[in-house]
Homo-oligomer: A and B are copies of this chain.
Amino acid sequence: MTSQNNVTIHDIAKELQINSSTVSRALNNSSRVTQKTKNRILEKANDMGYQRNLLASNLRKNKTNTIGVIVPRISRYFFSSAIAGIEEAAYEMGYRVIICQSLEQLEREKNLIETLVANRVDGIILSISMETVNSEHLKKAKAKDTAVVFFDRHCDDKAYSNVLNDDFQGGFDATEHLISQGRRNIVHFAGPQTLKIYQNRQAGYRKSLEKNGIAFRPELVFNSKLMEQDGIDCGKKLLKLPFEIDGIFSANDVAAITAMQYLKKQNIKFPKNISIVGFSNEPSSAVIEPALTTMDQSGREMGQKAASLLLHEIKNKSLEIKPETVILKPSLIKRNSS
């Protein structure tokens, strides 16, 4: 019962009185084997319950046909939809995907990169943790010639390719949208300012205020580390403001959604005329009150793009492809109608 079936190509070869190289070729569907012997081999392999050992195969070929993906958390809709896009593109090209989460910790991110490299993945797609400030830890990947592409949250390093949103423009457009509706007292739920994307969103917000002659008030910027608690704090801060606000631009969905949940729990109703624009496409944002308009960033699209960039680099490793940065435009979308 504990058969521990460990049939190898040699076992098959022995049974068939042929050489293991022929078996190997047959199993790889090489054109240099007669269809007839191929059939014999395949059948025997099946009978004996042969299962290829990819460790050995990959070791020999020095290639795994696998790419690693590291995101902060798979539970965020943006990231899981990006992963869907990556898998789609990778699958088409015959690549497997290993999904990993850094849980926003640099230490974990480092470990994951090391493990992926040690397992000889052909490439890595990465959206950095909130603790990550440079690409130092990717040297190990570079050293092994492992291709790397960033998406969304990136390191400012010309050596790597990126797939990004135009976050500045998004922040700008979001704020413009609010102002065009007559809002002038606009709170900004910011994200961790260690990350370029949140810096840029905030910069866009400020640019729009400036353009419209509205003074920037630091006390209207609510910082967040993307934890639920920060969202609750945002909700509380809203209640403590010494004056009425009429708009919110949220650069992160955790803050927006959790703050609204919190206020709802407290049975606090916003004045009907407040507007929120969020930077998120989390579906649950569609049920929050008051109505939310979002800067839509297509995770799937970014993922697909990142994967094809990466695979392109992998295929042309010898050609020393130069890194490329793709910037996508997010667009305003109304998510619910109440």
Residues in chain A within 8 A of chain B (CB atoms)? 1-6, 49, 51-56, 58-59, 64, 73-75, 77, 80-81, 83, 87, 96, 98-101, 114-115, 117-120, 140, 143-145, 257, 260-261, 264-265, 267, 282-284, 286-289, 317-318, 320, 336-338
Contacts and interface: CB of A to CB of B under 8 A. Distances in A.
Given A3-B143, A81-B75, A257 B96 contact: no
A290 to B, nearest CB: 12
A265 B4 CA distance: 57
Contact of A287 (B1, B2, B58, B261): B261
Contacts of A260: 287
**Number of copies of this chain that the complex holds:** 2
Closest 8 pairs (CB-CB, A-B): A284-B284, A75-B80, A54-B118, A55-B59, A99-B99, A5-B143, A74-B74, A4-B145
B100 A115 contact: no
Contacts of A317: 2
Contact of A261 (B2, B286, B289): B286
A171 B40 CA distance: 53
A124 to B, nearest CB: 14
A96 B112 CA distance: 9
Given A59-B59, A74-B74, A51 B144 contact: yes
Contact of A59 (B53, B261, B320): B53
Interface centre among A77, A143, A260 (most CB of B within 10 A): A143
Given A261-B287, A264-B336, A287-B260, A74 B99 contact: yes
Given A74-B83, A75-B81, A143-B3, A265 B51 contact: no
